[in-house]
Amino acid sequence: MDKDGLPRYSKTDEHAVGCYYGHRHRRFFRVAVALLLCYTVAQYWRPAGDVGRTSESLLSLERLKTDHAACSKLQSVPQDPTGLRERNARYLAGNKPVLIRNATVWTGEPAAGTSAEDAHSGKGYSWIHSDVYMEHGLIKRVELGISIASLPDDCEVWNANGRLLTSGIVDMHSHTGVDSLPNLRGSSDTNELSSDITPYVRSIDGLNPLDPQLQVIKSGGVTTSLILPGSGNNIGGEAFVIKHAVGKPDGRSEISAEDMLADPEKNWRYMKMACGENAKRVYGTLGRDFGPFSRLGEAWYFRHAFEQASTLVKAQDDWCAAADRRGAAKMPGYLPRELEWESLGAVLRGQVMVNTHCYTVPDLEAFVRHTNEFKFPVRAFHHAHQTYLVPEILKRAYGDRPPAAALFADNMYYKVESYTASEQAGKILYENGIVPVYVSDSPVLNAQHVVFEAAKAYRYGLPYHAALAGVTSASAELLGLGERIGKIKAGFDADVVVWDSDPLSVGAAPVQVWIDGTPQYVDPVELEKPAPEPLKPDVALANAVTEKTEKTSVIFSGVSSVLSPGDERQLVGNGRDNRVVVQEGVISCVGQCLDEVAAALSSGIKVVRLRNGHIVPPLTSFGTYLGLAEIAGEDITQDGENDENSFSAAVDGLLLDSKNLKAAYAHGVTRAISAPAFKHGDHKGISVGFSTGAVHAREKGAVWQDEVAVHYTLTPAARQGKTPSLSSAVSELRRKLFKAVASNETEADLSVEDTKLQAVVGGENLPLVIEVHSADIIASVLRLKEEVEAAMTAKSSSSGGLRLIIYGGAESHMLAPELATANVSVILAPVLAYSESWDQRRSLTGAPLTNGTAVDVLYAAEVKVALSTKEDWEARDLGLIAGIVHANSGGKISEAEAWRMVSSNIYDMLGLTTKSDRGEAEFCVYEGNPLEIDSRVVAVADGRGMVSVWA
């Protein structure tokens, strides 16, 4: 999936024709509109006393009066709607009152009497023991020991058994419903690319209430989303805040977008704008007579649009003032109206909350200039990766409050605009008085897990309460709905989630979700988890050292557990007494190590004191473009892409010392196995095994395996060139493998590909990795394996069978027993698939909708499984992904097993050993349990003799 729902980053823009004609039309239209406007204004501006009797007589008095009456509405500025209501306007008669008993509640507010300064630092916030009573779609009471006798007879009682309860999650950047999943051309309505300036289009006009993703997202506790148009245009159009309740099963009476509106009274309006690279990329193609081609052009397009809207607003205000003075009947013309500029006029009137996609300093600065030139506030900058560097620019924006920053926690580097970014952005912004909120940009991130973005923000140093606010109360407030949603408080909409664990812990899943007081699940799957305990906010996370030092010898004290590949010993007892001594790059002692410590101390070796230290094997990333590409949106930063005629070895194209690699390394991912890219997506060629910490490929230990596996793609990307269909792609692979079985190594003029395929079907047993998600194509691959193995047996060219690995595997769970029987391993990427594309539509999304995800089904069927990621930036989250898999396995996948899935399992599948030949230690030191959110990497040794320390 491309970022922002936009066309692929490519030189040829498939939308060129549509835009061109559309624009031509619009230019003519604009001239006509301008003329009309001039005419109307000229009519009005006739000298006083010469009020045209004749034209008046031609006008409808009724319409003049209606126009005059419209003035006050036109000029009104909305207030945030209050929480003081008898009932929620969304309440439907018949939905019963609910009492949730014995919950541990996060109200979203500090205790009464907490000073603003204390509240900012998190003082006064806590989880409280309470009952919650909901009636008429509202939260009515939040107090302990509510007696049933005081409630209506039809009240339903739901026992939370102490579990954690928060308000519904609010995602203020989503395209769900307009960018429906699975991604299909017929249901893609994200960007109106007929023109760069389209304030007049509205996301609600394309919003599909039947988008299955609306339900999947809700299953992550998300009850409210702001549905924005995409960011292909400088001005994208109007946005709408919806709730994720659709039709009868969700307690609604109808299936409609209108019924989903979070605020049926429509107090506020919302608009999406975007600056920077996107509009240039979509429109700025040489040979066209329009742009924008550059940021310079974008600024002009913005200003020109605001000028049109401003002209309309002034003409309207003048008309209204004159009508007030003279009476509507005496007006020489009607109230000027222009649908094209109406919504942008409303922006200038302060009726619309503007949300602008803006990454970089020049973009932020230009946009802030526009706000001051045309006097309108911007509510939040989205994708705002560079805001942490320039809070003072944000503070210069027009209006009485600086814009917020709507962020991803660690999705960065994918385009040049996000290449300057920081995991600490949320923390830094918060410290500088800018509100950070966390968003999914669904379908860019899996919005079901948008709360995981807030969790990672907490991990990266944003205070716990501010991280939770960043997906609840702060987002609600930025939507102007701060008295309605985002808190557990009497008078608020009854949007409530009860969680199976702290929402900021790894793998947190709702047990039940209520929207406007209606439970959304009849029979939700509830995972078996330890008794829920709120996390203890760890303020030390904010003090993480980001600069590393290199050591050959170092001592770690306060080690409470050591998990090494061969020796899975868990140290027990008083953690403070346990030490790990590293000398000259080799672990020389684990335990008390009194003698070693004394000797080491006398030679001045650094002691790193850990709180709850954990030592684990480092992580391996498999199958991304790490080491072969740096910025996804910038072709020149990449090795390039193989097509159907080319085939290469990644070792020949390694590009090291990159930001993505440094981030992976700093998160304990010391090794990566990457294969060359394939032109239309995914991979083709021979993968290389390398050390992420190496600066170049000739460094000692930089490349630890020249050729790891042969990779092919059988996703829809395979359908091109010589193999226009999936069936032809499968049969082409079959032809190549049969040829490899039939041929022999002494044959002359064998291509690299032929030679490697001979190694796949021959005694070397080189692994064959097929990138595929669809269960149907996995079935074809299993048949292919059988056929090729039969040929291999006939030729007796190999003792064993094919060493076959499925990479991707979103639908692999459907063939778990078959995969186990065929001895095929699976590397899941992504681990939590979400029906992004048609071939992944049968992904399991987990509790409360499904009992487990693909990993649980594969593991139960005894398929060898490993975990990886689809995108390069995500490699840094591998440890947490293992944590999610462990936490959500109902106790079936142990911590050690989950960790093997991101480390040693990959080597078992590939027939490789993890041991470095030189015996230098490879380990990763964490403070805190590496599978939990509040852990962080303190040191990494990657087997090349050095220990990198962040302490």
Ligand X SMILES: *[C@@H]1O[C@H](CO)[C@@H](O)[C@H](O)[C@H]1NC(C)=O
- Are 380 and 312 a contacting pair, CB within 8 Å? no
| DSSP notation for 124-180 | T---EEEEEEEETTEEEEEETT--GGGS-TT-EEEE-TT-EEEEPEEEEEE-TTTB-
Report the distance separating Cα 154 and Cα 170, nearest Å. Answer: 30
Interface residue with ligand X, options 267, 422, 720, 823 (CB under 6 A)? 823
Compose the 42-81 pattern: x for residues touching ligand X by CB under 6 A, - for all others.
----------------------------------------
**Which residue's Cβ has the minimum distance to ligand X?**
162
Interface residue with ligand X, options 18, 763, 800, 817 (CB under 6 A)? 800
Q: If binding is defined by CB under 6 A, does position 799 make contact with ligand X?
A: no
Q: If binding is defined by CB under 6 A, does position 813 make contact with ligand X?
A: no
Tokens encoding 17: 């024709």
Q: If binding is defined by CB under 6 A, does position 894 make contact with ligand X?
A: no
- Are 404 and 380 a contacting pair, CB within 8 Å? yes
Residue entry with tokens 């490519």: 10
Q: If binding is defined by CB under 6 A, does position 817 make contact with ligand X?
A: no
Nearer Cβ to ligand X (102/194): 102
| Contacts to ligand X from residues 467-526, by CB under 6 A | 525
CB of 508 to ligand X, least distance (A): 17
H or E segment to which residue 901 belongs: helix 895-901
The strand pairing partners of 197, in sequence order, are: 235
CB of 148 to ligand X, least distance (A): 13
Report the distance separating Cα 338 and Cα 357, nearest Å. Answer: 26
Nearer Cβ to ligand X (35/790): 790
Compose the 181-220 pattern: x for residues touching ligand X by CB under 6 A, - for all others.
----------------------------------------
Interface residue with ligand X, options 60, 161, 549, 821 (CB under 6 A)? 161
CB of 852 to ligand X, least distance (A): 6
Interface residue with ligand X, options 7, 162, 534, 945 (CB under 6 A)? 162
Nearer Cβ to ligand X (78/162): 162
Nearer Cβ to ligand X (465/803): 803
- Which of 732, 755, 729, 753 has its CA nearest to residue 743? 755
Report the distance separating Cα 858 and Cα 826, nearest Å. Answer: 8
Interface residue with ligand X, options 187, 422, 705, 851 (CB under 6 A)? 851
- HSE-CB at 627 with a 13 A cutoff on CA atoms is 35
| Contacts to ligand X from residues 97-126, by CB under 6 A | 102
Nearer Cβ to ligand X (683/785): 785
Q: If binding is defined by CB under 6 A, does position 860 make contact with ligand X?
A: yes
Compose the 298-337 pattern: x for residues touching ligand X by CB under 6 A, - for all others.
----------------------------------------
CB of 783 to ligand X, least distance (A): 17
CB of 825 to ligand X, least distance (A): 8
What is the total count of residues that contact ligand X (CB under 6 A)?
Answer: 12
Compose the 696-735 pattern: x for residues touching ligand X by CB under 6 A, - for all others.
----------------------------------------
Task: Describe the chain by its helix, strand, coil percentages, rounded to 5.
Answer: 35, 20, 45
Compose the 730-759 pattern: x for residues touching ligand X by CB under 6 A, - for all others.
--------------x-xx------------
Helix, coil or strand: residue 495: coil
The strand pairing partners of 948, in sequence order, are: 550, 940
Report the distance separating Cα 567 and Cα 673, nearest Å. Answer: 24
- Which of 378, 373, 316 has its CA nearest to residue 352? 378
Nearer Cβ to ligand X (181/804): 804
Cis peptide before 443 (omega within 30 of 0): yes
What are the start-end ranges of the H helices in 414-481?
425-431, 450-459, 464-469, 473-478
Report the distance separating Cα 220 and Cα 455, nearest Å. Answer: 13
- Are 405 and 431 a contacting pair, CB within 8 Å? no
CB of 593 to ligand X, least distance (A): 38
Q: Which residues bind ligand X (CB under 6 A)?
A: 102, 161-162, 525, 744, 746-747, 800, 803, 823, 851, 860
